Every structure is written in structure tokens, then in C-alpha cells.
Amino acid sequence: MKKLKILIITLTVIAVSAFTSENDLMIMKDGYKVGDIATDFSLKNIDGEMVSLADFKEAKGFIVVFTCNTCPVSVRNEERILALDKKYKALGYPVIAINPNNPAVQPGDSYALMKVRAKEKKFTFPYLFDDGQKIFPQYGATATPHTYILKKEKEGLRVKYIGGIDDSSRNAANVKSKYVEDAVDALLANKEIKVTSTRAIGCSIKV
Amino acid sequence: MLVYIFLYMRYSRIYTFFIIICCVLIITSCKNETDRAKETNENDVIEVYNFNQLKPLLNKSNDDKIHVVNFWATWCAPCVKELPYFEELQANNKDVEVVLVSLDFPDKFESQLIPFVKEKNLGSQVILLDDPNENEWIAEIDDAWQGALPATLIYTDTKRTFYAQSFTREDLLKEIEKFTKI
């Protein structure tokens, strides 16, 4: 009986400690989870201006996309990112693109070349440079492209979705589920988001 | 205490893997024969697989080999940089079997992947994974993987580790060492 007691106590301790430590590790390693409050930032846009999410007084939320000039998966998703901004900016969910890469490692992702890329592709959204790579680790972005949907709430910017733009990053013609569109549509309709986190092929962030 | 928790988490994960492997083996056992026939193809043939066809290569057993499955793409610079280390492994170590799973764009198969494999004269088996349902199969390969390239799975009958990272030659050999039976 005593043994059983010890066993139960041990198991409880393991379960509790494993659970809490996992949470701690997640925050350290993986950044935000759905439901967390995201911090705002102040990052330099391609026009030289500093941009914060607080600047967008009218916005209901944001589609934050970590993307870059060089990653072929990002390039292949540029049209989709433009389409998201076109559709959802007017509805209160503008796209905010952030380049998380270190140009010392990936010279094609320099601030100067961000300007070139944005001009070439006629970006309609801010394209911000995560200078010093402070912001992407807070979010926990692991790849380009990597999308976070944030909703303005009383407590701050609530993370509502993390993951891919859709279920077919490599081939737009094969898309069956448009995760980001579905999520923003649900937010706009005050409905629950069915799929709140997904995975997608991408380029590792260059640190 | 931290070490204890770490070990606990680690082994609980391995246990989960074990269950998944068993399920996969049972489900795919009938299919294995046809897939094995494909595996023995010449190295210069690049097979195009969907995830179900790839799965047996992620779960080989009873062959005493160290299986190294590298997820890469011709467009991924860190992947291309580490490819030679995997090729050296395949060439120099009889106990290691390397499979290079390309996530190149399926519409660039002819124009990019095939010429690249020919030019580099890759000796390892190369497979193009063309399966649109990436949200599901990325998680199935490893729960910790978000889908960024490169990534590598190393496994034997008794040990299985997933690496969402790139390797130096030294680091890769160090990891392989951990799988070598004494």
C-alpha cells in the first residue's frame, strides 16, 4: 500500500513537472502558441519609416507573414500573399510582411534588395526588416513563409492562427484548404476557427 | 530535476514513435512487397512518391542498418551544402543507408531536380515527394517538424531521432556514431 502511494505521488510529480517544463520549453524554443498575446514591434519598412502594429488604429487584426526575397517557396507564395492583402485589408486584417533573415548569411535578403523585390512585385503591404533578428524568435517563426493571424482584443493582440497560407505551398493549383482565408473569415464572422495551426514546407530562417 | 524531465519527455516520445511504427508496419505490411521492388531500382532513376509510398522507407526494420533520410531541395542552399556529407556517409559506411527525399517543386522535376542529380552524380537513392497534403505528412514524419528545410531523420531498429536543422560533416558523423552498435 505504501509502495502504491509512493508510486502515485511519483507519477503525479512526473506528470506535473513534465507538463510545466514542456510549457516552459515551448515558450523558449517555439515562441507563441495559439491563444497567446503577441507583443508589438517597431521595424523599418522598405520606405524607411518605422512601423508598429499600434499604428493601424482601424485594423481589427493582422495577417503577419514572415517571408523573404530569396526563398523559392516564399516567391511562389507572393501572389497568394498579395491576394490576402487585397481581400482582407479592407475588411480590417491587413498583411504585414517581415523578413527575418540575416543578410550576412543570405545576402539576397538585404534591406536594399527588399526594396527592389517589393517594387518589382508591387507589394501593397508593409515589408519590414527584422534587423538584428529580435522579433522572429519571439513569434517562434521557423521558416519562410510562416503566417500568424493576430486579433485585437482588450488584452492585446491575440494569436489566433499559426502556420501555412494553405495546404499546398508548392503548387497553388492543388490548394484544397485555404487555412489563412478560412481563419480570417471565421474571425470576421465571429465564429470559431476550425484549423488553428498547420505546417508547411518552407526555407529555414537564416541566422 | 531538469535532466529527469528531459529524459522522461524523450522516452515518452520514443514510446509514441514505437506505437506509430507498429501501426504503420501492420497497415503497410501487405503493401511492402511492391514498394521494395521499387527500392531496388537503379540509383539514377528518381521515383516520384506520395507520402504513403514514402512511409515504408521511414520505417524499415530488421536489417541492422542505420537509415538516414534527408529532406532537401535543389533550391535550398543549406541543403545543397550538406548533401556531400550524406553522400560520403552512403559511400563510406556499409551499415548506413541514405535516402534523399527531395521537396523540389513537382513542376521543376524535369528542369531542376533531374539535371541536378545527374550533375552531382548522386549515389544515394533520390525520391521526389509529391503529396499536396503537407500539413498532415509533415506532422507524421515528426511532430516537432514545422516543415522548414533541411531536415533529417536517422533511425535504426531501436533508436529514432529527427533533426530539424542542417549539419556540418563533423556533427553528422557524431550523430551517426550514436546509432552505431557496440
Strands (E), chain B: 47-49, 66-72, 96-102, 125-129, 148-149, 151-155, 160-163
Is residue A198 less than 8 Å (CB to CB) from chain B? yes
The Cα of B9 is separated from the nearest Cα of chain A by a number of Å equal to 7
Nearest C-alpha in B relative to A196: B135
- For A195, nearest residue in chain B (alpha carbons): B135
Tell me the pTM. 0.81
B7 touches chain A (CB under 8 A): no
- Cross-chain residue pair B106–A198, CB shorter than 8 Å: no
pLDDT digit string (tens) for chain A, length 207 residues: 566 665 555 554 444 444 444 333 333 456 999 999 999 999 999 999 999 999 999 999 999 999 999 999 999 999 999 999 999 999 999 999 999 999 999 999 999 999 999 999 999 999 999 999 999 999 999 999 999 999 999 999 999 999 999 999 999 999 999 999 999 999 999 999 999 999 999 999 999
CA distance B120 to chain A (A): 21
| Beta strands A202-204 and A156-163, pairing class | unpaired
Show the domains of chain B with their CATH numbers: 33-180 (3.40.30.10)
CB contact under 8 A, B135 and A167: yes
